[in-house]
Structures are given as C-alpha cells and as structure tokens.
Chain A
Amino acid sequence: MDLSTIMSRAAGLAGGAGGEALKRLQHVRLPGVGQSSVTDDPRTAARRWRAVTVLTEPARLQESLPAPLAAFGDRLEVRVTPAPGDRGAELAARFRGPVTEDEIGHLRAALREAKALVEVGEVLRVDPQPHGHRKPTPQGRTVEGMAQRAPEEGVL
C-alpha cells in the first residue's frame, strides 16, 4: 500500500472520528469548558425538553408549527410558552418514546432551523463555497467530521 493510500484511509477514518469525537465530547465535563445537556443518563436525556427561544409571538408558533418540527409528526411533544420580557416565545420539543442520540441530534438541528425560518425566513447555508485543495490529512478530515456533525450537537 503506497503512502497516499495510507493517508487517504487514515483521513477517511478521521472524518468519522471527528463527528464521533464531537458527539462524545458532549459527555465530557472539563473545568471551565462548556458541555451539552446530554451529560444526563440516556433515559433522562431522551425525555428532556430541548428548546430554543424564538423572537416571535407565541401564537404564531401555536397556530402553525415550523416545517422542520412538523416533519417529525406524532413522535414529538411540542410546548410553546411566552418567554420572559421581550424575548418572544420558548419553543420546546421532546420525543414521546425511546430515541437514539442520532434522533436527538436531528431534533436539535430541526429546532435551530425552525427558529431561523421564523426569525429570518431562511436557513443560512454555507456550502458549496470557494476553497482550495483539501489535503486528505487526518486533522483536516477530523475538522470536516466535526463541522458536519456540529448542527446536530451542542447544548440543546
């Protein structure tokens, strides 16, 4: 096996590892570093409400659920409450039954997209965009894996 093949395979593994690393880092609590609510045990995490605050009247969300959340159908329980002060509406959702971490990730992304659609009217895209040669290095693929996974991770 030549060096370029070895590097390419290592890079491929690193891409998956980057996404996995970001997923696993959500469970790590280091002093002074943030963490996700997924640090709960899996059963509690699956049942926890995940929420975004949307700058809109609560009635707007109560009348019509944004498409990214509506796509989950009956699997989701959705709660809309007024946010304190002038902050709009708290839009929260959780699954009615057992879920996987990947499904929780899909819900995080859907909540963020729902918020963007209501507030801005569109979800900000970043690809495709200009870039130079992507050297197939493990570090590069790790970052790529993290970036691909990032919309579905975080504190929600």
Chain B
Amino acid sequence: MKAVTWTGINEVSVEDVPEPTILNDHDVILKVRLSTTCGSDLHLLGGYIPFMRAGDVLGHEFMGEVVEVGKGVRQRRVGDRVVVNSFIACGNCWYCRQELFSLCDNGNPNPGITEGLWGQSPGGCFGYSHAVGGFAGSHAEYIRVPYADVGSFLIPEEVSDTRALFASDAVSTGWMGAELAGTGPGDVVAVWGAGGVGQMAARAATLLGAEKVVVIDRLPERLAQVRQHVGAETIDYSATDVLVELREQTGGRGPDICIEAVGMEAHTPGAHGVYDQVKQQLRLQTDRPAAVREAILACRKGGSVFVLGVFAAAVDKFPLGAIMNKGLTLRGAQVHGQRFTPRILEHMARGELVTEHLATHVLPLDEAPRGYQMFKDKADGCVRAVFTPNG
C-alpha cells in the first residue's frame, strides 16, 4: 500500500509499504478515508523531536472505515465509519479510568525514552516517533488501531467525513484546553495560535459559556477564519502589542483563561524571537516558548493558563515568578481525546461545531510532500493539508 513516510529532516516521501495486520486482540484495521497534517508534525519534520527513523509512516489525525476486527473487540464491526483519537489508551489503567487517556500506562511500548526525559511516560501516539511507541501513522491506505473499543468512535450520519476528521485531534485538543483550564460563563478567554487547535479551543470556550474569546495570530487568512467560522475576536500580534491590547480589552484585568496553542516553534517579532531562535539552533534550549511566556504575563491574577502546544524538554526565560506571585494555575496535556470526542460529535451533529473550513487543501496521498511543504510554509492560505489515501 502507499504511505507517507519521514525520510530525514525536512524530507517526506510517498513509498510502498506492507499493509498492517492485527497484532493484538483489541485491534481493528481501518481503511483511511481522510488523514490530516497537524502543526505538531512540523516538529518531527524539523528534527526537533529526534526519535524518528527513516521510513516511519506519518500522521495521527484521521477517520475511516473498519475493515477487519480483532477477536477481543466488542464495540466495532466491519463497515463502521469511525473517527480515531490520536493517543492510544487501554481504557483500563487508573489514568484511563480518571479520563486522563493520554497518560495511559499501557499505551506506549517504549516507556524508557520518555521516562528518561520527563520522569514518567505518557501513552502512545500514532505516527509520532519512537518516543511515544513508534506506531505507524495514518497517512496510509490502511492503519492498525490498537484498543479500538476505547479510541474509535462511530460518526453520526449527519456529520461529514471532513467535519468528523478533526474530532480526532484538533477539536478534542482545543476542547480539552478550554474545559480543563476551567472556562465558564462570564470568562474572558485568550487563545494564542489560530491554527486548527487554536480555532477549536476558541470555539469550545464559546460553547462552554465564555463571555468573550480573543484569538492571537499574525496570519490574516487564519484570523479571518476565526472571525467567520469560530465567532471569536482577533488580535494580529505583528501589528500591535498583545499585552497592552488584552489589558485594554479586559478593563485592565487580563484574560481569565489563557490557552497556548502554538508549541515549541513559536514565532516572535523582534529581539525576543532572535534570542529564542539562536538558543534553539545552538541546542541551548529545546523549545521556543514565546507564546507561553506571553500567556503567563497576560493572564489575570488568579487565572488559568493551559499549554496545548507540543513541547519537548527545556525552555529558557520562563516566568516562574509571575506564576507564583500572581497565583496562576498552569496546566498542560497531550490530548485526552477519548474523554471529549462523544460530546464533540454531538455538537458537530447539531451544527454547533464546524471544521470543514480548516481543510483548505485536500490532496491525494501522492501529493503529500507538496502538501507538507505548503503547510510548513503556510503558503496559499494553507491551514491544513488533508490527504485522501483511498481516493
């Protein structure tokens, strides 16, 4: 079958690879209908997460049709149209029972790498390096889905493939940030990053009752999507001082909830951006945390900051004093998608949560290298390149 593979730093290829097989009783094999690029893939492409092997199949956000079922699977049947969460979780360990699915104890067969980095290991993830299991990704005609009863969800008839696709990761990640940060009625929520995850965090905040939601980015086409499809306000950080703007818009308080949806390759204008770039390229820090710093400084006293962007290890100039002295709550997580997907699909079915506009470039698998290049360069207004492995 055809698959999109990582073949080196900033190298993506389309190769013929063997088809997946059932390896565990709780697996299903899925015929992939749609699989999308995600901003976090760019950290793999750029070599910032150095645990990829040439030939690894990329992709972790996808939907499709069940074509084979393991003998231990109870909830899925051949022919089911499902969306699958990006993190692989057993559903039976203590973390899964607490609905902290991305922290699953049994989902990552390579725990030694991440325990060495972070002291504990998160669960596994499709197509996201050997640090989180080395599972083959979804930019392929077929994919093996472990623990399928836990991580796959039937798509309601009234929800299109494209809308459901983003329940896999972008919407569930955004929803998690808004909900676990404690968003409620009357809150002012600021979101850094107007990519798929940032837009969906903003939409989730609105659905959770936020009074006012503001999204911060520099790309006009993404900010326009926020206003048109998400119904939130926007700030162009390349044209104004974000901290001053947010204070002005919140009666001097700062936002109640600040959600970072940018990750380890944040762009920043001016000297701060140069400083972070140089330190990262010299490997003196692994991540560029500009948006996290700004979120912490912007947040009102006693407010809540949620880190949704992917970070690898250590950062510099982290405003710990602001967190302590302003009494902030700081939280982060990889996505606990299984917790939020059922209600996300309900919102999608009612038309309250739309995502089709994110799929700006729908391409056959053969054009994946071009799709990734456009996505990386943010060329031609690309928000997400979505692949159709089976036409």
A residues with a Cβ closer than 8 A to B are 22, 25-26, 31-36, 52-53, 55, 86-88, 108, 112, 115-116, 119-122, 124-135, 137, 139-140, 143-144, 146-147, 149-155
Contact = CB atoms under 8 A, between A and B. Distances in A.
30 contacts: A31-B314, A32-B313, A34-B117, A36-B116, A52-B105, A55-B93, A119-B93, A122-B25, A122-B72, A124-B90, A124-B109, A125-B109, A126-B134, A131-B5, A131-B17, A131-B53, A131-B56, A131-B136, A132-B56, A132-B57, A133-B15, A135-B8, A144-B53, A146-B112, A150-B110, A150-B113, A151-B111, A151-B112, A153-B113, A155-B120
B13 interface: yes
Contacts of B93: 55, 115, 119-120
Nearest to B107: A124
Contacts of B51: 143, 146-147
A143 B52 contact: yes
B78 interface: no
Contacts, number: 167
B94 A130 contact: no
B238 interface: no
Given A34-B120, A53-B94, A55-B97, A153 B17 contact: no
Contacts of A152: 112
Nearest to A154: B115
B55 A131 contact: yes
How many interface residues does chain B have, given as a range? Answer: 35 or more
Given A121-B72, A153-B112, A130 B54 contact: no
Contacts of B120: 34, 155
Nearest to B106: A116
A55 B53 contact: no
A153 B23 CA distance: 23
Interface in B11-31: 13, 15-21, 23-26
Given A132-B56, A133-B15, A146-B110, 15 more contacts: A33-B117, A35-B119, A55-B92, A116-B90, A116-B106, A120-B92, A121-B72, A124-B109, A126-B134, A129-B144, A131-B53, A131-B57, A147-B110, A147-B134, A155-B119
A119 B119 contact: no
B135 A137 contact: no
B116 A34 contact: yes
B300 interface: no
B140 A130 contact: yes
Contacts of B124: 124
A131 B144 CA distance: 13
A134 B119 contact: no
Interface in B179-203: none
B102 to A, nearest CB: 15
Contact of B1 (A88, A120, A129, A130): A130
A132 B134 contact: no
A115 B52 contact: no
B9 to A, nearest CB: 9
A49 to B, nearest CB: 17
B130 A55 contact: no
A130 B116 contact: no
A33 B179 CA distance: 29
Nearest to B95: A55
A140 to B, nearest CB: 5
A126 B135 contact: yes
Interface string B74-102: 00000000000000101011100100000
Contact of B54 (A33, A53, A133): A133
